[in-house]
Amino acid sequence: MLYDLPAPAKLNLFLHVVGRRADGYHLLESLFRLITLSDAVTIDLRMDGVISREPCSTADWPEADDLTIRAAKALQQATGTRTGAHIAIYKRIPAGGGLGGGSSDAATVLLGLNRLWRTGLTRKQLMALGLPLGADVPFFLFGQSAFVTGIGEQFQPATIPERSYLVTQPNASVPTPTIFAAADLTRNSEPVKMLDFSGLNRATVRFTGSDAFGRNDLEAVVKRLFPAVSITQQWLATQGVVSRLTGSGACLFSEFNNPREAVFAYEQLVAKMHFEQGGLKTVHVCDGLPIHPMQNWAVD
């Protein structure tokens, strides 16, 4: 039997680098929000214990680097189950876009197989299993908007107003290690407190210049190393659309009060971008999600 499961993307509504550990990992502060832009994960159970995958037509990576296969094998090893699975991923989330697509796919596999295999791990156990796979995997298992600290593994639930977004993909794919290795990356931002943005309102979420919650410390480095990101952001500005980088890039996001405003802006951009902006690949319209659509697939 085939099971079709969602794997939503996320946005970093802000992202600060506040330090660096002795082992080289960077200490972060960010506000993560799930959005409706989503990959689809299809799982077919196998009784022979084999973990296999369907070739993905939109991405080409070796099986050893496939987070979904690694996630399934990690769960299999941790629980001793003798059941296997055949996994297929249908990508909509741009790779290298800072939207957490690969991590989300892996989290969905963990949530899905934990239930389908009846292995019975709790959410916290799944989060611990997911952390070695990727820093964003535990967030998707946490499954709700969160103030994120540490290396991306510490979460406090956050309430964020309903908003709609345009997610714009420049003609670039940004490898996260390249950005964090840059000598000119800001690594000493002043830490913020949860109290500073509890009860978030429009004034703190909107992109207001020097507002502490309107900044991504990685953005300057990404735009320097990947000019397509800077060119796309500048072009969006000429169309009256303010945007900011999410995660380590390359995708930019723009916030709107409601879906109607977002769709209107989308239609205006799409009508012009093929003629005026050759470095822009796609624009997606999406809404914020308060919780992961598979939130009830794990017990706390």
CA dist 16 and 187 (Å) reads: 8
The total number of residues shown for the chain amounts to: 300
CA dist 113 and 44 (Å) reads: 10
How many other C-beta atoms lie within 10 A of the C-beta of residue 91?
Answer: 16
10: annotated active-site residue = yes
Q: Which of 136, 217, 223, 281 is catalytic?
A: 136
73: annotated active-site residue = no
CA dist 26 and 263 (Å) reads: 37
Q: Which of 10, 66, 217, 223 is catalytic?
A: 10
Contact (CB, 8 A) for 197 and 141: no
Q: Which residues are tagged catalytic?
A: 10, 136
